[in-house]
Amino acid sequence: MTQDKEKDEPEPVYELIGEEAQGSQWGQGLGPGDGRNVAAGAPGAAAVALRQALVDCWASVRSLRFWLQVLAVFLLSWASAVLLVIGLVTGGTYTADAHFWAYILTAALLVLGASLLAFLWGLSGPGTADGGGTSGFLYAWFFAAARGLVFTIVSTAGLLILATASNAPAGLAGVSAVVMVFESFVFGGIAAGAAWWLPGRGGQVLAWSVTGFLLLGNVAAVIALLPAVRQYEPVRVVINVHRDDLGRVASFECSPEFSGIVEVFHTERIIWLGVSHPLLIFALFAGETSPDTASLGWLPAELEAAAAGTQIPCVGSATAGANEHGETGAQVPLALTGLGTQIAMASTLLLAGQAASRRREWLLSS
């Protein structure tokens, strides 16, 4: 009877305490040895966090929910591009040339979709600022970026199909892929850094504010500041104008004779604010990869003219930002300016999140 009673009794359950108990709150069957519970100063903490993020990303991309998100964003981008082409380009009909335009706009809109998805994944991904320390902070960033990489691969495959169907340059899909990967790291870092710097609602407000500026506020700021850079200046007669194959003004000369007073917008003072938008970064790189295609080179050329202040040549005693022959001096490339602005914002939040995570670890251990 004694042996039977011993068999019926449940086996003892051991409850984890201390750091191991804190590690169990991450869920998903991860124990105290995963990358999110490695001490901040431990060697290879970043590598462990990266490895665990890749493992969890592989598990998450096998879910139906992830593929529904990817498919929905791709189809929404393509459908929006088609509607824009029909409404703004072809005048209500979908002609053969519309395939090419739809391909270009889809590639651009997918960059925007990758940015938003990476931000949402970084903001609501597994793990919170309540545990896991610096390695958990890195895990949240790596997890969002890894998902963004998978989204990029799938979207690039879809773009290549559209390129083949429209007989368009496949290099544009490659440009879109590179920008999507970059934006996944940037917006995933913004979300993770803000959430771990200011836990709770404060971090979400900060993350949404920075993202709102990069996706809308930067361009809105340029438009709002246009009246502040408007001036009335004398303009001289333009002579010996030479244009390139696309009809753009390549060079010109200014005569000593003044032709009158014109309204001038000195956009070279504010254009740097707007080029941090993901769509403009994509447009700038796309124009550089296919400079002979008018549809790809038009917007970058207009942005470069706005950055040089040469929309109206021969303004004042010399052209605004140019010499007598219409040749602009050395300037920082607009694409690098936009990339640098995004990197600076994301790096600031990431460093702040890392510092806050280390400080919380120190307080818990002391």
- The pLDDT of residue 316 is 67
Which residues in the chain show pLDDT less than 70? Answer: 1-45, 92, 96, 125-135, 244-250, 290-295, 297, 316-332, 366
- The pLDDT of residue 330 is 43
- The pLDDT of residue 110 is 96
Domain range list for the chain: 53-215, 224-339
- The pLDDT of residue 244 is 67
Pairing of strands 249-265, 230-243: antiparallel
Spatial contact of 107 and 156, defined as CB atoms under 8 Å apart: no
DSSP track, 280-338: HHHHHHHHHH-TT-HHHHHHHHHHHHHHHT-SSSSBTTS-TTB-TTS-B-----HHHHH
- The pLDDT of residue 86 is 87
- The pLDDT of residue 278 is 95
d(CA 186, CA 232): 40
> Is the whole model's pTM more than 0.85, yes or no?
no
Give the pLDDT confidence of 98-117 residue by residue, as tens digits.
888 889 999 999 999 999 99
Spatial contact of 222 and 206, defined as CB atoms under 8 Å apart: no
